[in-house]
Chains A and B, each alone.
Chain A
């Protein structure tokens, strides 16, 4: 266990050193805050820059607080996922190429400790960014539009974080399998969006899919109640995450032994 702690600490200091601990949370905050601000000022923005002829009357319904927050989460689903995948793509593959991984493994570190410390590091940055950014979005929504009940925010962010954890775990797996950073990012993003698309097309048969987490998040935000299929999706998602981790460890072990 102590070895794991050392590796995790190393992971954290590295993230401080390459500024990931600073820029990813800031980007999440900005992404979250832009949404309430821009929906609040939309009439004025159109007025000033829209080039509409004088006297045009635009009926713009002000979105409700929950709608704004749903938009924030869908921004996280696109840009947030992109940023997380791009920042996590080299997590194992780059270390393997630069030889750092080999140097660590020489010290008889268990393969599982290595992968799990990487995973914990990714989880830390993901959850910190999501929670801080979403809290900022909630604060701004309350300030500019309307207050949304805290427990709905809390429930929705917890459910949403499961989806992001799934995405990050998938990236970790591809980072152990493949060599180039670019291909890791490309395949991860492709798979994530493929899962989302298939789930939304075949919604009926995919109630277990991890991608339904985003739908459940919206559901909780809007009504405060969970769909009955949530438990199924939750269990399969956790199971898939554990399976992906075990797979990563096995593949990593296999590859290291070959070299």
Chain B
């Protein structure tokens, strides 16, 4: 397991993880601040936190009411 972890070139992978994290946090903050989401809010929060990449995108596209 350790070898596997050491073999990963973090220089290349780390920016991707950071970007995914930023995306997730943005979606999370937006979801918390949104007054009425399309569907139950707790479900959206779960989707954002659990499904990588697709979750936040899905939220931004269909989860927000267009104001």
Taking a contact as CB atoms under 8 Å apart, the answer to whether B23 and A23 are in contact is yes
Q: How far is the CA of A34 from the CA of B53 in the complex (A)?
A: 12
With contacts A27-B57, A90-B66 known, is A33 near B16, CB below 8 A? yes
Which residues does chain B contribute within 8 Å of A37, judged by CB atoms?
A: 12-13, 16
Which residues does chain A contribute within 8 Å of B30, judged by CB atoms?
A: 18-19
Is B64 part of the contact surface with A, judged by Cβ < 8 Å?
yes
Which residues does chain B contribute within 8 Å of A144, judged by CB atoms?
A: 12
Which residues does chain A contribute within 8 Å of B12, judged by CB atoms?
A: 37, 140, 143-144
Which residue on A lies nearest to B61, using beta carbons?
A86
Q: Tell which of A19, A140, A143 touches B60, judged by Cβ atoms closer than 8 Å.
A: A19
Interface size on B, residues (CB 8 A): 20
Q: Which of B15, B16, B20, B60 has the most CB of A within 10 A?
A: B60
Is A231 part of the contact surface with B, judged by Cβ < 8 Å?
no
Which residues 31-66 of B sit at the A interface, judged by CB distance below 8 A? 53, 56-57, 60-61, 64, 66
Taking a contact as CB atoms under 8 Å apart, the answer to whether A18 and B23 are in contact is no
Which residues does chain B contribute within 8 Å of A98, judged by CB atoms?
A: 66-67
Which residues does chain B contribute within 8 Å of A48, judged by CB atoms?
A: 4
Is A70 part of the contact surface with B, judged by Cβ < 8 Å?
no
Residue-wise, chain B 9-32 has the 8 Å CB interface mask toward A (1 for contact) of: 000110110011011001100100
Interface size on A, residues (CB 8 A): 23
Taking a contact as CB atoms under 8 Å apart, the answer to whether B66 and A83 are in contact is no
Taking a contact as CB atoms under 8 Å apart, the answer to whether B19 and A30 are in contact is yes
Residue-wise, chain A 4-33 has the 8 Å CB interface mask toward B (1 for contact) of: 000000000000001110110011011001
Taking a contact as CB atoms under 8 Å apart, the answer to whether A23 and B67 are in contact is no
Q: Tell which of B23, B64, B66 touches A26, judged by Cβ atoms closer than 8 Å.
A: B23
Which residues does chain A contribute within 8 Å of B16, judged by CB atoms?
A: 30, 33-34, 37
Q: How far is the CA of A144 from the CA of B24 in the complex (A)?
A: 26
Q: How far is the CA of A208 from the CA of B19 in the complex (A)?
A: 39
The 3 A-B residue pairs whose C-beta atoms are closest, nearest first, are A94-B66, A90-B66, A86-B61
- Further pairs besides A26-B22, A33-B16, A37-B12: 8, Cβ < 8 Å: A18-B64, A19-B27, A27-B53, A30-B53, A90-B66, A94-B67, A98-B66, A144-B12
Chain A interface (Cβ within 8 Å of chain B)? Answer: 18-20, 22-23, 26-27, 29-30, 33-34, 37, 48, 83, 86-87, 90, 94, 98, 140, 143-144, 181
